[in-house]
Structure 1
Amino acid sequence: MSEPTSPSRPSVLVVDDNAAFLDNLEELLGDAGYAVRGASSCKAARERVREGFDVALVDLRLPDGDGTALAAELKAASPDSEVVLLTGFATLETAVAAVRAGACAYLMKPCAPQELLLTLEQAMRQVRLHAEKRELARRAQVTEKLAAVGTMTAGLSHEIRNPLNAAALQLSVLERRLRRLPDGQQAPLLEPLLLVRDEIRRLDHILEDFLQFARPREFRPASVDVNEMLRRVVDLLSGQAASRKVSLEVTPREAPVPSVAGEEERLRQVLINLCLNALEATPAGGTVTLSAGHEGGRVWLTVDDSGPGVPQEARDRIFEPFFTTKAQGSGLGLSIVHAIVTQHGGSLEVDTAPGGGARFILRMPLAG
Structure 2
Amino acid sequence: MSLSNRPRVLVVDDNAAFLDNLQELLGDAGYQVYGASSCREARERAREGFDVALVDLRLPDGEGTALARELKEKVPESEVVLLTGFATLETAVSAVRAGACAYLMKPCAPNELLLTLEQAMRQVRLQEEKRELARRAQVTEKLAAVGTMTAGLSHEIRNPLNAAALQLSVLERRIRRLAEEQQPHLLDPLLLVRDEIRRLDHILEDFLQFARPREFRPESVEVKLLLRRVVDLLGGQAESRRVRLMLEGDGGESMPPVMGEEERLRQVLINLAINALEATPAEGLVRVAASREGDMALIIVDDSGSGVPMEIRDRLFEPFFTTKAQGSGLGLSIVHAIVTQHGGSLEVGSSPEGGARFFLRLPLAR
Q: Give the structure-1-normalised TM-score.
A: 0.84
Is residue 244–residue 284 contact of structure 1 (8 Å, CA) maintained in 2? Answer: yes
User: Could you tell me how far 1:24 is from its partner in structure 2?
Assistant: 3.2
State the distance in 1 between where 2:357 and 2:60 align.
43
State the distance in 1 between where 2:181 and 2:251 align.
58
Name the residue aligned to 1:152: 149
State the distance in 1 between where 2:3 and 2:104 align.
32
State the distance in 2 between where 1:261 and 1:29 align.
48
Name the residue aligned to 1:68: 65
Is residue 255–residue 291 contact of structure 2 (8 Å, CA) maintained in 1? Answer: yes
> Are the structure 2 counterparts of residues 233 and 11 from structure 1 closer, same or farther at C-alpha, using a change threshold of 3 Å?
farther
State the distance in 2 between where 1:257 and 1:108 align.
62
> Are the structure 2 counterparts of residues 362 and 194 from structure 1 closer, same or farther at C-alpha, using a change threshold of 3 Å?
same
Name the residue aligned to 2:329: 331
Structure 1 unaligned segments of length 5 or more: list them: none
State the distance in 1 between where 2:212 and 2:58 align.
60
Amino acid at match of 1:9: R
State the distance in 1 between where 2:89 and 2:298 align.
54
Structure 2 unaligned segments of length 5 or more: list them: none
State the distance in 1 between where 2:248 and 2:113 align.
45
Name the residue aligned to 1:27: 24
Name the residue aligned to 2:279: 281
Aligned residues: 364
Name the residue aligned to 2:83: 86
> Are the structure 2 counterparts of residues 165 and 127 from structure 1 closer, same or farther at C-alpha, using a change threshold of 3 Å?
same
> In terms of mean alpha carbon deviation, does 239-248 or 206-215 score higher?
239-248
> Are the structure 2 counterparts of residues 296 and 59 from structure 1 closer, same or farther at C-alpha, using a change threshold of 3 Å?
farther
User: Could you tell me how far 1:38 is from its partner in structure 2?
Assistant: 1.5
> Are the structure 2 counterparts of residues 251 and 166 from structure 1 closer, same or farther at C-alpha, using a change threshold of 3 Å?
same
User: Could you tell me how far 1:208 is from its partner in structure 2?
Assistant: 0.7
Is residue 6–residue 351 contact of structure 1 (8 Å, CA) maintained in 2? Answer: no
Q: Verify: 1:130 aligned to 2:127, yes or no.
A: yes
State the distance in 2 between where 1:28 and 1:258 align.
50
- The secondary structure found in structure 1 opposite 2:47 is helix
State the distance in 1 between where 2:108 and 2:318 align.
45
1:300-329 CA distance string (max 9 Å, x none): 555444333445554454433333322222
Structural mapping, 1:283-322, within 5 Å: 283-290=281-288, 301-311=299-309, 314-315=312-313, 317-322=315-320
Q: 2:56 aligns with which of 56, 59, 67?
A: 59
State the distance in 2 between where 1:24 and 1:258 align.
55
State the distance in 2 between where 1:253 and 1:75 align.
54
Name the residue aligned to 2:43: 46
Identity of aligned residues (%): 80
Name the residue aligned to 1:169: 166
State the distance in 2 between where 1:6 and 1:293 align.
28
Is residue 279–residue 305 contact of structure 2 (8 Å, CA) maintained in 1? Answer: yes
> Are the structure 2 counterparts of residues 33 and 216 from structure 1 closer, same or farther at C-alpha, using a change threshold of 3 Å?
same
> In terms of mean alpha carbon deviation, does 233-242 or 197-206 score higher?
233-242
User: Could you tell me how far 1:299 is from its partner in structure 2?
Assistant: 5.5
Is residue 60–residue 67 contact of structure 1 (8 Å, CA) maintained in 2? Answer: yes
> In terms of mean alpha carbon deviation, does 95-104 or 349-358 score higher?
349-358
Name the residue aligned to 1:219: 216
Aligned-residue Cα RMSD (Å) equals: 3.2
Q: Give the structure-2-normalised TM-score.
A: 0.84
1:2-60 CA distance string (max 9 Å, x none): xxx99423222121222333333333333433322221111011111111111212222
